[in-house]
Each structure stands twice: as structure tokens, then as C-alpha cells.
Chains A and B, each alone.
Chain A
Amino acid sequence: MFGYILKRILLFIPTLLVVSFIVFLLIQLPPGDFLDTMVLRMQQSGTSMDAEAEALLRERYALDQPFLQQYSHWISNIVTEGDFGRSFTWNRPVSELIWSRLGWTFFITISSLLFTWALAFPIAVYSATHQYSFLDYLFSFIGFIGLAVPNFLLALVLMWIGFSVFNVSMGGLFSSEYRDAPWSLAKFLDFLSHLWVPIIVLGTAGTASLIRTMRANLLDELNKPYVEAARAKGLTERHLIWKYPVRVALNPFVSSLATLLPTLISGATIVSVVLSLPTTGPMMLDALLEQDMFLAGSFLLMLSFFTLVSTLVSDILLIIIDPRVNYE
């Protein structure tokens, strides 16, 4: 087992390197480069840049260098100095721009994950113990609705409801009067009143699958002889369920750390764009569209790093809590 864990950790680094390479390749794949976008933007606000200036800047930004050279420069700077390069659009070091946004992204995805767990766990246990009851059907139906409604639309509609019914703009995570204010109870409440929209939108999308897997696993366990034996020995039904079957059926929760997180992060990109949240979403999308390559690359790299770590953690946890898992 420890050999396996060690192997996984050792494999982690080359995997990350491959990811970084693919990420960088993907960003460079679309035609054009950052300067093309920049010239177009300038023209849209009525100014322009002549071709010589463009060529000069292209050289300055090293956009004329071959791909491999750009990549090795970028990755070696990250590894040796923690320098993620500069954002062309912002004319700032990337590291100045990304950390707070990554922080919010982690916060929102983890909150959504917790929300999903909190929602899925009781429902799954109830559904499994009351199979084919009315509530079992109702819960699965609601879960599936959450899965079926496109995230962006749900976010837009919730935003509109917030605006037209409560006359508050749901955009962002704070009302404008609290954006600059230091943390206080009022600010915290204001924060919560904004936070529920993205968390509901993201959380509901993943709940259904978790409920279904957990319910199925629990049903399997409940039909096993040891449960019958325990029941025959006179264990109370409550004790009976919580003692072993629920614990065993918890596996999907642990593995959801690996399967759900990438989905949540992707979902968060769209939801953040709709709600203009201060997460990675909007800035990363802009950076990708504008080919601000170091900024976009660093975002992608960090998000992939995050999901890779969560996969690793979930795999190791699975082995620890359930030694029967085949780790070959």
C-alpha cells in the first residue's frame, strides 16, 4: 500500500509537467497572438497602431519566438523562481493577479462541494432505506432537475430574480457599499446573501450523480448477508444502517473529490462569467480569448494542479478507508 502511495506521488510530478505542456500548447493553438487582439481592441475604441509598432511590440513580448522556446522559458522560470511570467494585458506579473482569484475559486468550489455533500448524504440514505417511496422519487427528480438545467441559465434567471424582486444586483460577491469596507457582521451577511446563488447553481448540478451512486452502493450493502445477520441478532434498524453499510457506501463521497471538482471548476467558470464573480473564470476566459498566454497558462496550470492534487488525495484516502480497493 505504501509502495503504491509513493508511486502515485512520484508519478504526480511528470503528470503535472505533461499537463503544463498541453496547457501551453492549447493556448497557442488558436490562430493569431495577443497583439492581434490588442490592435483590434484599440480599433474598437477608435485608435490604432501602425504595423511597425506592432512588430516592435511583438519582438518585445517575445511573441515571435518558437513555441518550444517560449514554453521552456516559462516553465523553467516557474520551477526555479516561482515566476509565472507577465500578463500582457495587465502589464503586471501574473503572480500579482492570480492568487486572490484562485483563492475565491477554491473557496466557491469547495463550498459547493460541501453543499453537494450536505445535500446528497441525507437524501441518499433516505432514498436507499425507503426505496421506491414517494420521497425517493421526488428527491431523485429534483436532483435530476438540478443536473438538467444549464448552469448559465439558472444563474441568469436567479440574477434576474434578485434584481427584479429584491432590487439587489446579484453580480459579484459583495454589494457595492461593502466592497471596500473592512470585514464586519453586516459585510459578512451581505456576502452570504450573494454567495448562495453560485453555490446553489454549482451544487445542484453535481448532487444528482452523487445521490444515485451512494444510493446504489448503499442498496448493495443493505442486501448483504452481514446486514441480515446483524438484523437477526436484534440490532436496531438505525444502528444497523449507520454502523457499517453507510460507512462503506461513503466511498463515492471520497471519490467525488476527484470526479466532481473538475466539473465544479468548469461550471464555476461559466457561473462566474454570468455573475461577474472575482474568481478565475472571467479573467481566465478573457486571457484565453486574448491569448494573454502566460496569464491564461498560469490559471490553467494552477487549476489543473488543484484537481490533480484532489485526485491524489482522494485515491490515497480511498485506500486508507477501504483496504479492499484494488490499488494495482
Chain B
Amino acid sequence: MITLDTAQPIDDIPISEAEEKHLTASQWQLIWWRFRRHRAAMISMAVLVVLYTIALFAGFFAPHDPRDVVAEFADAPPQLPVFWDSAGVHFPPVVYSYVGERDPRTLRKIYRLDSESRQPIRFLVRGEDYKLFGIVSTDIHFIGLDDPDQPFFLLGTDSLGRDMLSRIIFGSQISLTIGLVGVFISLILGILLGGISGYLGGWIDVGIQRLIEVLRSMPTIPLWLALSAALPRNLNQVQIYFGITIILSLIGWTEIARVVRGKFMSLKHEDFILAARTNGTSRMRIIVVHMVPSFSSHLIAAMTLALPIMILSETALSFLGLGLRPPIISWGTLLEGTQNLDAIALTPWLLFPVVPVIITVLAFNFIGDGLRDAADPYA
């Protein structure tokens, strides 16, 4: 009997446990493994988890009510935590309280530190009442001082004496979600139009491609300008928020549609699609069940990369006075108040909201980068 090497049962080939795991893993597991190797993306992931947690529990993490006007501490500079001074080492660190006075010549408010009054920073202290998720009433804050009447402004205050740190934290609720909503809308539009374009082809494809070209060729600022000015009247602040999101996503969908169309074009002729078609599967089912999942990892990567653009767009819109407006608190509206010389020259701490913007945009970009690299797990 002739035995051929090739006829040897596969089971007999010795393979390591790791390799076996690799071969039997699902697509998503493979992506995850590859993604984990991207160190910057992993760190970014952790950063985002922290940011979203803070946004979710904003009332808890913010030391003050973001709308609380404290007249005597208007335009107050940040209080730096002090770990040691002439009185020795402090743990937990302390902040010095300060007193503001108007300079008689320049009318500018100048704050003098009182280095004798040390206020230790406490964790989980009782402060102002707030409602967690708008339901649970509590007064426990993540950080604060024993004496709630003492100034405690780690990032300083704005011109009305409102705590910048608390405002940034509450601002993240809008700024971190506006991108998500926008990207979600973009995604739906992108899959729909990109899918139709790629799957049907022909003159519909040409039409949609022209539409994308037209949209992309138009400078976005005027597009936003006209659209946001044309938002229907009598909208309340929340509706405006959604209106702005939709405007942002109207431009964002073109990139996703392009990715989807490309994938559809190449998948159309793949065997498994042909098989499904000859099986008599409906067109819609082919698209939703067979085609979309096969490139969803690419889609997620494209979405992650679209998110930071949305977040930046929100700030740019606010800067031009077209986006969200106070009293809504978002990173964009906070930065809108800094677009003047006085802020940069005299109260530079008002620029601080740009730091979370940069961190978030960086984090999403690194994650998107990592996802894109990991998206083709069989490569």
C-alpha cells in the first residue's frame, strides 16, 4: 500500500497550542490580538476609558457646579497643589487660598496668595449637592477641600468666577458625544449611499460619485455657515446640538461612503457573494448579512479616524460663532471665550480646554491607526 505524505491526517501534525489558538480564533479575536501589539493605541484606549468615565460621572468628578458664579474669585489663576513648603512636606498636597484686588491703575484683578492658609486637598469630600445622571441626589465629590467656602480652583476661574476644571469636565459630556452621534449618522449615510453606489453601479454610481465630489469640493466653512444659519427656528439647545451634529456628519459621510463603495466593488465578484446570489438570497440580505460584516473592521477604523475631525469641527464652529453657544458648556464654547487677546495675555488658563481636545484627538487617532493596522487580520 502506498502511503503518501500528504494523506497523513492533519491531526498528526504537531502544532503548538498558540498556533492552534490562532487558527481557531474568530476574526475579532485576531484583530484584538494584533491591536494589542500597538502600544500607543492601547494607552490611548485607557485614556479614553478614563475620559468617558469622567464625562459619565461629571457631577462626581467636578469639584464645583460648572454654572456657579463666585463673584469674589473672578478671573482667578489656577491654584497649584503644593507638596512641600517652609512648613514641611504635605500629603495630601495643600493649596493656598488667595484674595483678589483690583489694581487701581490697570483695573485688572490681581490675586495675592496667602501662603499661611494651607488647605489640604481631600478625596471623596462632601460639597455642593448635585444629581448623578440627573436622578441620584448626593453631595460626595471626588476631590475638594474641608471648608467649601475656601477657594479651590485647580485650573483657575473664568470671568464670572466659575471653576474651569468643572466646566471642562462638564463640557466633555457634549464634546465627547457630539462626535459619536455625528459619526453614527455619517456611518448610516455612508453605508447606505456607498453601498448603493458600489453594489448597483451604473448611472446611480456615477450620480452618487458626483455628489461626493461636489460635497468634497466645497469649502466646509461656508457649508457649515449656511447650514447652521438655516437651522430651523425655535429649536432648543439640545435640538441645536443635534442639528449641528447632523451638519457635521453631512460632510463626514463621504469618506465612509468611499470606503464602503470600494469594498462593495471588490466583494461583488467574490465567490461567497455569488453563491449567496445563486441561492436566491435577497439583495438586502446579501448586503447586510454577508457584505457589511466582512469589512466592518475597516469601517470601525474609518469611524475612529472621523471622530477627532468631528471634535475639532465642533471647536472650529464655536470659534466662528456658528456652533453651540453658551450657556451650553462644551469644549468648543469654552474655547470660544478665549479667542481674544485679553484671554491669552491676562488669563491664559482659559486656554486649558485645548488640552483635553488635543488628548482626545490624539487618542482617537492612535486607536484608529491601530485598528487600521489590525483590520486585516489574515494578512
Contacts and interface: CB of A to CB of B under 8 A. Distances in A.
Contacts of B365: 144, 147-148, 208
A15 B214 contact: yes
A288 B213 CA distance: 23
A156 B361 contact: no
Contacts of A284: 222
Q: Interface on chain B toward A: helix, strand, loop, or mixed SS?
A: helix
B286 interface: no
B47 to A, nearest CB: 13
Interface stretch (A83-91, A120-128, A261-269): A261-269
A23 B227 CA distance: 11
B226 A29 contact: yes
B40 A148 contact: no
Interface stretch (A53-61, A95-103, A110-118, A296-304): A296-304
Contact of A266 (B219, B345, B366): B219
B316 A152 contact: yes
A30 B345 contact: no
Contact of A269 (B40, B221, B233, B362): B221
Contacts of B210: 11, 14-15, 18
A74 interface: no
B223 interface: yes
Contacts of A242: none
A148 B358 contact: yes
B214 A19 contact: yes
A57 B372 CA distance: 58
Contacts of A164: 345
Nearest to A303: B219
Nearest to A151: B316
B214 A22 contact: yes
B117 to A, nearest CB: 33
B306 to A, nearest CB: 12
Interface string B346-373: 0000010010011001100110010010
Interface in A111-169: 137, 144-145, 147-153, 156-157, 160, 164
- Interface footprint category on A: 35 or more
A240 interface: no
A285 B320 contact: yes
B216 interface: yes
Nearest to B344: A160
A318 to B, nearest CB: 14
A262 B213 CA distance: 11
A153 B335 contact: yes
B308 interface: yes
Interface string A237-264: 0000000000000000000001100110
B215 to A, nearest CB: 9
Given A148-B308, A160-B341, A308 B217 contact: yes
B230 interface: yes
B351 A153 contact: yes
B143 interface: no
Contacts of A157: 344, 351
Q: What are the 8 A-B residue pairs with the smallest beta carbon separation, nearest first?
A: A30-B229, A26-B226, A148-B361, A29-B230, A307-B217, A148-B358, A269-B221, A266-B220
20 contacts: A14-B210, A15-B214, A23-B218, A29-B227, A145-B358, A147-B361, A149-B354, A150-B316, A150-B319, A151-B316, A153-B339, A160-B345, A208-B365, A259-B216, A262-B220, A266-B221, A273-B320, A288-B226, A289-B225, A307-B218
Interface of B: 40, 206, 210, 213-214, 216-223, 225-227, 229-230, 233, 308, 312, 315-316, 319-320, 335, 338-339, 341, 344-345, 351, 354, 357-358, 361-362, 365-366, 369, 372
Given A18-B214, A285-B320, 11 more contacts: A15-B213, A22-B214, A137-B40, A144-B365, A157-B344, A160-B345, A262-B218, A266-B219, A304-B214, A304-B219, A311-B216
